[in-house]
Structure 1
């Protein structure tokens, strides 16, 4: 995670300017650093509290999910042809459940799980008559 909102904005701006092979290398290096850091955590450290970019305080045990969520959703945002239909159902179910809970939604739209996930994350979807939603993170 980024140390500040400014660092996050700078990272996003940097990523947008990179060629595909540079972006892939940057992502791979960051994934390797994260894996190395997580592999070194003790059982006690996994319970330490961390603050997310959204200001939520969560145990370190949530960090793998935070990374997976960010990497998968933003992989779709890159517009390279990856869609929510390419993501595993278990991931999509967890994503939809998280967004439903954070938004306090009682009812979810009818439709295929990938399209529901796309809609709830504010990405293009094929669901008819789905009202616009605000940011979810």
Structure 2
């Protein structure tokens, strides 16, 4: 088995992961003991909860890459209850400990990714929702998580600030996860990139598509925020339907 054509090789994706991680770490470093415990954009989560979630997510990715490397099952999390408890615990940590935790867990992930042999990237592991995935999907999911949760921190970074080199892939991955779901309305998503490049994707069940007619256009960041339920449709063009929860 090989990585499909059109899928960025995970070793090439590492540079984007490191770049996004650097942005998140810079944002957390700029916070203080008061601001780190202020509310994030996620319901009932402070910024500290989001930071702790990112740290535990990095360790979860390490578990999956270890599984791919060794062939021995290493679940992303021991249980949802343990994962939630770890995030709650992180929510009361000091700013310094949160920063150190995120920095160390992120470094462990980069090291784990660099240690994987080419064949290991196609090994099957089980992601957080309990869905079997090839190991190369782990870094793609991590890149989305980093940029989106940086926005969730509500600390001066928005969807439109995601680098153009990454936002197209994030859109593609998000549409791929939503496509074919019975609860997703039939609509054509049209992204208008800088320089005049346009890309489009169809959502909704295949049988719905002949009757679709709906088209939503906009800049990539605005479309991504709408698809993920982070932003509304005010900056989009067309009759944007209400989207179901992303996960």
Shorter-chain TM-score above 0.5: yes
Distance 2:91 2:114 in 1: 29
Structure 1: 5+ residue runs without aligned partners? none
Aligned residues: 137
1:66 maps to 2:141: yes
DSSP-derived class of the 2:85 partner: helix
Matched, 1:111 2:218: yes
Q: Compared with structure 1, are the counterparts of its residues 130 and 97 closer, same or farther at alpha carbon in structure 2 (3 Å cutoff)? A: same
Per the TM alignment, residue 60 of structure 1 is displaced from its structure 2 partner at its CA by 1.3
Structure 2 counterpart SS, 1:22 = helix
TM-score for both structures, normalised by structure 1 = 0.84
The alpha-carbon deviation at position 114 of structure 1 amounts to 0.8
Higher relative contact order (CA 8 A, sep 6+): 2
Deviation at 1:122, TM superposition (A): 0.5
Residue 124 (structure 1) aligned with residue 231 (structure 2): yes
Larger deviation: 116-125 or 41-50?
A: 41-50
Taking the aligned partners of 2:161 and 2:88, their CA distance within structure 1 comes to 26
Distance 1:14 1:43 in 2: 37
Deviation of residue 80 (structure 1)? 0.9
How far, CA to CA, are the matches of 2:127 and 2:165 in structure 1? 23
Per the normalisation by structure 2, the TM-score is 0.50
State the alpha-carbon separation in 2 of the partners of residues 54 and 29 from structure 1: 25
What whole-Å deviation, never above 9, does each CA across 1:31-54 have from its counterpart, x for those lacking one?
101111122222232222111112
When the two chains are superposed, the root-mean-square deviation of aligned CA atoms in Å is 2.1
Q: Which has the larger radius of gyration?
A: 2
